Amino acid sequence: MKDWKNVWILAEVSRGKLSPTAYELLNAGRALADALGEKLCAVLLGKNVKKFAADLFEHGADVVYVCDAPQLENYIDDVYAKTLAGMIKQYKPNKFLLPATNMGRSLSAKTAIFAGTGLTADATEVLINKEDGQLHATRPTFGGNLMATITCAHTRPEMCSLRPMSYAKAERTLGRSGEVVEFAFNEQDFTSLAKFLKFIKSEGEGLDLSEAEVIVAGGRGLGKPEGFALLEKLAKRLGGAVAASRAPVDSGWVEYRRQIGLTGRTVKPKLYIACGISGQIQHMAGCSGADVIVAINKDPQAPIMKLAHYAVQGDLYEVVPAMLEALEK
Amino acid sequence: MHILACVKQTPKSDNVKIDPATGCLIRSGAESAMNPFDEYALEEAVTLKEQVGGTVSVITMGPPAAENVLRDSIARGADKVYQLGDMAFAGSDTWSTSYALSKGVEKINAGQKVDLIICGKQTNDSDTGHIGPQISAWLGIPNAAFVRRVVEVGENSITVERLTEDGTEVLQLPYPCVISVVKEISNPRVRSVKGRMAAKRAEVVKWTADDIGADKTKLGVKNCPTRVVKSFAPKRDSNAVEVEGANGKEKAAKLVELLKENKYI
């Protein structure tokens, strides 16, 4: 296994934009590379993606592997996974971090089989074990009720998808540069039976939840769909996004993509304001990673009043407008 | 059309308790049921069968008691059920589990070729979401994850919408293929009386590792690539600060002050 060297990260590009997860992975990967005394390398896959290399160097990459081809314009699991597995076979990375985004979770899973190696899903912390240099990836399981540390001792690369917003973004050093390596792809890997037909942008206005540093979420306690307009105001004022617990989604007040929790999405904002949410374990599984949780609830006995960092007992229809007022001062 | 749903028996999410001292799962008294995400997968399989005709098969890998989720699948509208059970499978990670399931699919194919495999988005116990994409990798067939809607079931292909962080992508996958579905795809139905009766009588086909021709060096806790080396209860400080004030307005002002002071806003 001595031939397997360096720490790789996948710099996800989607619809011509570099995902902010790339900077988080560079930050996490830098610590791993330094602990091993190896290089930190980023992988770019897509159409017209080479231009992002300079940005990746400035955020800590020593080498950027590029596979730039028109056939990679849209994400098709087969095509991306075969190409990545081909790159792994040729360059033999030691560790490989991918973003646990929708694309990254699916892609990492398929690639691990093609590359014949183990994968840890949705980790929130990655470390190098000093004794043997192995990757120790720690992740929440059972909907966040249990943490598990997972290793992959005998195959390389040790692969891991890392939950978005688990790590801060790498700092930028202007003018820092590195080496670009263009992958001589095999065009056969680009053939898939699957066809990408089109992309439809989300109807919902506003910031994507995975990128929001502030999330204002509403639950059953809102009592009516119009309550979300109020939460929207607060979210806007704080530069954040609106989300929901399961009840309002099941009632059709909010679209499913905004549901936080076990059956919805997991988020890790700096600030999570839960309005009229009781705090069932299934909901908390999706938001317990927030730096700070504020609960606004009429019921002092609601579980969330103990799970939150700040508990405000009161009517959200009184508290939220008063918060907006206080924020104006 | 032959649709295969993959299901897993998992602890009911409500009943999961962790021993704070050992960090281990307290399994005694914990009820098991079908992984909630798989309910959506199975419901979609049955719905598609009702639209275009065909057969719904269900496969699981697990200990003898996992037979219960297969009987439950019959009650929910499945036609045939298959259980992969063998000590050789015990402790498998997703790499090994998906391998075993893919061998099970090949064995089912020998009887009646599977056109569409539907998995839940993830399980509620290990939350990986790996199995759908990984079965497709072993079988060398196309897949899509985070599928929220089936747009069209054609003669030779299926058109689906999958969720991305910023919207929806529409993909066309020819059969055979694998989709992993999110909750939005369906509303699991109530089990019918007829279904419950059928569930009691149904034959559960049971296969060992040898029956499906699986390479045992790829199976089980000793052979799978990943291993859990430590588990512990997450740190959770329940030192909630109660924000005080005479009324909602005062509390709101105090909260904003606290958040500003601590630089959260």
pLDDT tens digits, B1-17: 999 999 999 988 655 66
B23 and B49 co-located in one domain = yes
pLDDT at position A110: 98
String of DSSP letters for chain B:
-EEEEE--EEE-GGG-EE-TTT--EE-TT--EEE-HHHHHHHHHHHHHHHHH--EEEEEEE--GGGHHHHHHHHHTT-SEEEEE--GGGTT--HHHHHHHHHHHHHHHHHHS---EEEEES--TTT----HHHHHHHHHT--EEEEEEEEEEE-SSEEEEEEE-SSEEEEEEEESSEEEEE-GGG--PPPPPHHHHHHHHHPPEEEE-TTTTT--GGG-HHHHSS-EEEEEEPPP----PEEPP-SSHHHHHHHHHHHHHHTT--
Give the tens place of pLDDT for each residue, A308-319.
999 999 999 999
Specify the CATH superfamily of domain A209-328.
TPP-binding domain (3.40.50.1220)
Global confidence as pTM: 0.90
Q: How many structural domains does chain B have?
A: 2
CATH 3.40.50.620-classified regions of chain A: 7-190
Cross-chain Cβ contact A15/B166 below 8 Å: yes
* Chain A stretch 281-320, residues whose beta carbon is closer than 8 A to a beta carbon of chain B: 281-282, 288, 291-292, 294-295, 305-315, 318-320
B252 and B150 co-located in one domain = no
Cross-chain Cβ contact B128/A151 below 8 Å: no
B22 and B121 co-located in one domain = yes
B176 and B258 co-located in one domain = no
CATH number of residue B40's parent domain: 3.40.50.620
CATH 3.40.50.1220-classified regions of chain A: 209-328
Asked whether residue B33 is domain-assigned, the answer is: yes
How much of chain A, in percent, has pLDDT values that exceed 90?
Answer: 81
Cross-chain Cβ contact A141/B146 below 8 Å: no
Q: What is the extent of the structural domain holding B253?
A: 240-265
Decide if pLDDT at B30 tops 80.
no
Specify the CATH superfamily of domain A7-190.
HUPs (3.40.50.620)
B159 and B244 co-located in one domain = no
Three-state SS at A45: strand
pLDDT at position B22: 58
> How many Cα atoms sit within 13 Å of B102 on the Cβ side?
24
B218 and B245 co-located in one domain = no
Nearest Cα neighbor of A258 from A238, A165, A135, A267 is A267
Euclidean distance between CA atoms A305 and A136, whole angstroms: 34
Give the tens place of pLDDT for each residue, A115-148.
999 999 999 999 999 999 999 999 988 777 788 9
Task: Give A263's contacts in chain B (Cβ within 8 Å).
Answer: 36-37, 183
B33 and B76 co-located in one domain = yes
pLDDT at position B42: 98
pLDDT at position A125: 95
Query: What phi and psi values does residue B162 have, to the nearest 5 degrees?
Result: -120, 145
Decide if pLDDT at B62 tops 80.
yes
What is the arithmetic mean of pLDDT over B66-83?
Answer: 97
Cross-chain Cβ contact A121/B238 below 8 Å: no
Interface test with B, best of A323, A325, A327, A329 (most B CBs within 10 A): A323
Query: What phi and psi values does residue A267 have, to the nearest 5 degrees?
Result: -130, 160
B70 and B166 co-located in one domain = yes
pLDDT at position B18: 62
Asked whether residue B161 is domain-assigned, the answer is: yes
Give the tens place of pLDDT for each residue, A250-273.
888 998 889 998 778 888 899 999
Give the tens place of pLDDT for each residue, B155-206.
999 999 999 988 999 999 999 999 999 999 999 999 999 999 999 999 999 9
Cross-chain Cβ contact A197/B170 below 8 Å: yes
Asked whether residue B23 is domain-assigned, the answer is: yes
B179 and B67 co-located in one domain = yes
What is the arithmetic mean of pLDDT over B9-34?
Answer: 69
B249 and B218 co-located in one domain = no
A191 touches chain B (CB under 8 A): no
Asked whether residue B17 is domain-assigned, the answer is: yes
Cross-chain Cβ contact B129/A105 below 8 Å: yes
Query: What count of CB pairs under 8 Å joins A to B?
Result: 280
pLDDT at position B86: 97
Packed helices B248-261 and A316-328: angle between N→C axes, nearest 10 degrees: 50
Low pLDDT (below 70) residues in chain A: 203-206
The complex scores an ipTM of 0.92
Asked whether residue B229 is domain-assigned, the answer is: no
For B126, name the nearest residue in chain A, comparing CA atoms only.
A141
Model confidence at B94, in pLDDT bands (50, 70, 90)? very high
